[in-house]
Structure 1
Amino acid sequence: MIPSFEDRQPEQIITDSNYFESSGRIYKALSWLDYAKRNTNVSALEYAALETRLGIEQLLFEQLVVGVGSEIEQQEYKKCKGNAKVLDQILKRLIPKYEKLVDFTRALAPDNIPISKWDNHRLIQYSGKVSTYLHWSGGLDTTVQSEKWFANGIQTVQEAANYVWETLTKGNTAVMNIEDSPLEIQDLWEQYSGGQTTLESAASRAEILEPILQERLTNAGKGRS
């Protein structure tokens, strides 16, 4: 069940369901946004912007961990702190053809396991936009005391947080581990990623292969018993 972020009080926001992965961060962001709108509270808007930015950074980091796992060296981890753009660059460097791999994973995944495809360029843009409401500059009359500034802030942070929340609640962040896949699937990936076949063709061939691969897996299990 997806929790409601409406009508929560500050004490509830910082104590109840206080998780620090991307979904927890965005849940708090939306809760602060709701409080900010109900009370015209600038501090709540700032908290929402902070949680949204942290949620985006955490989400990019989660994509990195899902795709690379324990292969990331400690030095790489240190580079990941607090910079959405650097996180995306590391993701693309450590997982070549990352976006194609997500498409391949989605095409071969069972229908009952929805896989989300994140627009990381969009996430990076959102991270920059919401940061405007953390590092604002200008006169008080044009910023924190301005109704227009406040309304624009609500809209900006809301758009970013909604994108992440809606995508998180509709699918999973996952990519296939090609190296651990059957050789036939590895071959399909090489052909698709190399432009030798279409995604639709690769998915159709994988569907044809499924009974064979399943039988092999079953026989391997019997052999171990």
Structure 2
Amino acid sequence: MNIPNYIGKSPNEILATEFFDSASYLYRGMAWLDYHKRTKQFSALIYACAEGRHGIEYLLFEELVISTGANLSVEDYQKCVNERNRFKKTIAQLSPDYERLQEFTQILASLEASFPKLIYWDHSALMKAWGSLSHYLHWFGARNLTSESATWVASAQAEISKVLEPIWLKITSGQSGLMHPKDMNPVVRDIWERFRLGEIDAPTAKFQLDYLKPLALQNA
């Protein structure tokens, strides 16, 4: 995976990155954070939060699309546009078995070395990160106690780094993905349904998929 280098970029170089998926927003967030570390310009820290928060929102939107098997309705899409804090709730409503499906996809992927590395997101953790960045995009106090205080700025930078860096490292380590039930062949779907209902556990599901591997990996 070709991971872009965000370190040492100038403002013009950061702004020239005109891509608007989750990874691109997060790239610019990391670049602005690095720029602040080098220059101590406070505005760069605000830009890092804005780009990072957009990145998290877009990442949750991508998760929503994946969870519905790319069948997100216009109505549900509009709800998320109007209420960005609904992503986690909407995913839970539309895909109540999402976490279970993540686990099953991991089992299926483990059977074939050529499967791309898949990454999975904790939606609650993403919403918490979203909230942490949002704090700095609203009024956060008198300037002499905040943006003009070296101690406060250092603390803010540390918190923002703690939020953004793990997300950046994770999003650049693989790709999001699920084996959606509608894309499973009948053999896999039958095992998935029994796993979903708790009739079999993960080791049993893996054993059955491995035993039926030639059939299980058809269309996978």
Equivalence for 1:91: 91
Task: Give 1:190's match in structure 2, choosing from 185, 188, 193.
Answer: 193
Please say if residues 26 and 168 of structure 2, whose CA atoms lie closer than 8 Å, have aligned partners that are also in contact: yes
Structure 2 gaps of 5+ residues are none
Please say if residues 103 and 117 of structure 1, whose CA atoms lie closer than 8 Å, have aligned partners that are also in contact: no
Q: Which amino acid aligns with 2:56?
A: I
Q: Which amino acid aligns with 1:156?
A: E
Equivalence for 1:140: 143
Q: Which amino acid aligns with 2:98?
A: Y
Single out whichever of 73-82 and 184-193 deviates more from structure 2: 73-82
Please say if residues 52 and 157 of structure 1, whose CA atoms lie closer than 8 Å, have aligned partners that are also in contact: no
Task: For 1:152 and 1:189, locate their aligned partners in 2 and report how far apart those are by CA, in whole Å.
Answer: 46
Equivalent residue of 1:176, what SS? coil
TM-superposed CA distance for 1:70, in Å, is 4.5
TM-score, length-scaled by structure 2:
0.91
Task: For 1:158 and 1:123, locate their aligned partners in 2 and report how far apart those are by CA, in whole Å.
Answer: 14
User: Which stretches of structure 1, 4 residues or more, deviate above 6 A after TM superposition?
Assistant: none
What does 1:63-74 correspond to in 2, within 5 Å? Answer: 63-74=63-74
TM-superposed CA distance for 1:84, in Å, is 4.8
Larger Cα-atom Rg: 1
Task: For 1:82 and 1:126, locate their aligned partners in 2 and report how far apart those are by CA, in whole Å.
Answer: 20
Task: Give 2:132's match in structure 1, choosing from 85, 109, 129.
Answer: 129
Q: Among all aligned residue pairs of Structure 1 and Structure 2, give the percentage whose two residues are the same amino acid.
A: 32
Equivalence for 2:121: 118
Q: Is residue 171 of structure 1 aligned with residue 182 of structure 2?
A: no
Task: For 2:154 and 2:91, locate their aligned partners in 1 and report how far apart those are by CA, in whole Å.
Answer: 34
TM-score, length-scaled by structure 1:
0.89
Task: For 2:186 and 2:169, locate their aligned partners in 1 and report how far apart those are by CA, in whole Å.
Answer: 35
Equivalence for 1:149: 152
Structure 1 gaps of 5+ residues are 218-225
Task: Give 1:206's match in structure 2, choosing from 205, 209, 214.
Answer: 209
Equivalent residue of 1:144, what SS? coil
What is the CA deviation profile of residues 80-135 of structure 1, one whole-angstrom value per residue up to 9, with x for unaligned ones? 12755300111111112111111111110133421111111111001001111111
